[in-house]
Amino acid sequence: MAFEGLAERLQGTLNKIRGKGKVSEADVKEMMREVRFALLEADVNFKVVKEFITSVKERAVGQEVLKSLTPGQQVIKVVNEELTALMGGEQSKIAVANKPPTIVMMAGLQGAGKTTTTAKLANHLRKKHNRKPLMVAADIYRPAAIKQLETLGKQLDIPVFSMGDQVSPVEITKNALAKAKEEHHDYVLIDTAGRLHVDEDLMKELDDIKALADPDEILLVVDAMTGQDAVNVAESFNERLGITGIVLTKLDGDTRGGAALSVKAVTGTPIKFAGMGEKVDALEPFYPDRMASRILG
């Protein structure tokens, strides 16, 4: 299960303080030392850990906390709130254009789960928001990506626009947008080209699609299992392209938690959705408060 080690360690640490009728500054310090180790071991970015510890300490050693009737519980409440804030605080929703269609570019490296997530998101938009999405097969580089999206489209009965892999992604996007207008789709999800690594060709191509489509949302799909690599990828994409949201996939796996806890703080971009499995309905809006509570038990 995701966050297992982190949850176990944090809960163990917090339990020591939970029932205490009296908590001293030294108790908080000792507790935060353990929290720091737990976060670092879960592969959370060290700068993020440092800032997190500082904010919790500042709040937790305040008189109203330590002198309260239930200081142990109050300290835990502070940790919970700061953990929630670290992951973005409020749930961050997908954009809606003033004038349809809302255009969403899906970006990410090969294997992150971009194509699967495109289909999951289309399914989510139709099921939960009653939308009429069009998916666009513009990943012409990964063998079988187009076929994969078409198969998922058939399975979901959601249309897929494709022109094969001999036409440029910009050209595909241009035609897809015309089609979306014609058929009154209110969301267009573009499965853009993935690559094995972040490189200039990839960024240039995404830039060109962005310039043409003027997307309302650029969602970067990253694999939670890759920890700080996922954070680094998000930072590169954000600096070069500008992203508006992150989809963290494979949170159903046994990720330690580093990506989920660091990526918002490092990039300033919120996690909007979490991938929770391989099936098309395994996509959930990302709720920082629920995630924090899940970690802290």
For 235, residues 6+ apart whose C-beta sits below 8 A from its C-beta are: 266, 267
133 binds ligand GDP (CB under 6 A): no
Tokens 């998000």, residue?
234
Candidates 9-17, 180-188, 237-245, 276-284; binding stretch for ligand GDP (CB under 6 A):
276-284
Between vectors from CA 260 to CA 206 and to CA 62, what angle results, nearest 5°? Answer: 130
Residues 6+ apart with CB under 8 A from 173: 136, 138, 190, 209, 212, 213
Q: Is 191 annotated as a binding residue?
A: yes
Single out the residue of 13, 45, 249, 269 in contact with ligand GDP (rule: CB under 6 A).
249
Give yes or no for residue 278 binding ligand GDP (CB under 6 A).
yes
Q: At what angle do helices 4-18 and 25-41 cross, to 10 degrees?
A: 170
- Indicate whether 276 belongs to the interface with ligand GDP (CB under 6 A): yes
**112 near ligand GDP (CB under 6 A):** yes
Per the CB < 8 A criterion, the answer to whether 87 and 291 are in contact is: yes
DSSP class per residue in 86-128: HTTSS--PPP--SSSPEEEEEEE-TTSSHHHHHHHHHHHHHHH
The residue (of 53 and 282) whose beta carbon lies closer to ligand GDP is 282
112 is in an annotated binding site: yes
- Whether residue 109 is annotated as binding a ligand: the answer is yes
Peptide bond before 101: cis, by omega within 30 degrees of 0? yes
Residue 192 annotated as binding site:
yes
Least distance between ligand GDP and beta carbon 197 (Å):
13
Which residue in the set 194, 227, 245, 258 belongs to the binding site for ligand GDP (CB under 6 A)?
194
Instruction: Tell me how far, at minimum, the Cβ of 114 lies from ligand GDP, in Å.
Output: 3
Question: Which residues contact ligand GDP by CB under 6 A?
Answer: 108, 110-116, 142, 145, 194, 249-250, 252-253, 275-278, 282
Q: Which positions make up the binding site for GTP? A: 108-115, 191-195, 249-252
